Chain A
Amino acid sequence: MTRSGTSILLWMIAPAVIIALVFHFALGHRSDYLGHYAAGYGGTIAGMMFLLAAFERMPAVIPIAALVACLVSVLFGAMLEATIFRIGRFDEVDFCNQSLGAVLAALVTIAVSARRLKFPTPMLAGGVAIGFLFLVGGFWFAFS
């Protein structure tokens, strides 16, 4: 992978990890908060890679598409929290945390798209893999 491709993947990892570390150290007694944030980021950033691939020839559309995808992700997360993950009740804090992950993923996607004109498959696959790792880590912190 090129040097710029590596820096793009770092863009996808570094801000998300900084926030995850702050959640871990400041709210370590509630690992589910970190879990919801990580799952929200991971699921959304993985989806955003398909958006980048779909709109590679129409880069002007990417910011609005990322915003719409972020809002869809937030609504999807709310739906999950209200249905299959409604264990005690709909938890507003869980909702806020997973939505913060989705918002960061959208911002990172736009930042990445502003730095590249082309998105080679290895870079997109790397982004999906990073998203999957955050998603799995999120479930682990939420339920372990």
Chain B
Amino acid sequence: MRSANRFVAIILVAIGLALCIGNLWFTAARTTIPLALDLTVVDKEIRHEKHPGFDDVHLVRASNGNVMVVDGVIHDAISLGERITKERWSRQLNIGEQQLDLNWSADVRGMMWAMPTTAAVLVVVAGTLIWRRRETLQ
């Protein structure tokens, strides 16, 4: 049973770490900083969520059919028909002849604190199973 506990704990921690990395990636991708882009904007849309103005979804549709979720500041800076280019991990987004300086969003900065802490808590809870002694409370 102890080996089953360890095996399952390791699987759960692996899933948890993947979810933490997913959170960091999805929020970072919305800033476009980690992405390489070369596309023409054919449509953009704002969809309201539970808290309009705070958690709106900003969508940009490219000429190749891809739909991206981007931060509001990027959504506001681009216009239909404009070509957008940038290099991967560059902090500069080229919008036609204009250039937009990119920064990590509040979501990314928050996730940079929240996700390592969450991962640490998962590892500590799992660690009590992986390295635990044999006694059991009645």
Contacts and interface: CB of A to CB of B under 8 A. Distances in A.
Interface residues on B, range: 35 or more
Contacts of A70: 12, 15
A111 to B, nearest CB: 6
Contact of B122 (A59, A97, A104): A104
Given A63-B5, A87-B50, A19 B121 contact: yes
A119 B5 CA distance: 18
Contacts of A93: 23, 26-27, 107
Interface stretch (B31-39, B51-59, B72-80, B86-94): B51-59
A88 B47 contact: yes
A93 B30 CA distance: 11
Interface string B1-44: 11011011101110110011011001100000000000000000
A27 B19 CA distance: 16
Contacts of B121: 15, 18-19, 104
Contact of B125 (A67, A92, A104, A143): A104
B15 A29 contact: no
Contacts of A26: 109-111, 113-114, 117
Given A30-B54, A67-B12, A93-B23, A22 B118 contact: yes
Interface string A68-89: 0010000000000000000111
B114 A60 contact: no
A94 to B, nearest CB: 9
Contacts of B64: none
B19 to A, nearest CB: 5
B70 interface: no
Interface of B: 1-2, 4-5, 7-9, 11-13, 15-16, 19-20, 22-23, 26-27, 47-51, 54-57, 59, 69, 106-107, 109-111, 113-114, 117-118, 121-122, 124-126, 128-129, 132, 136-138
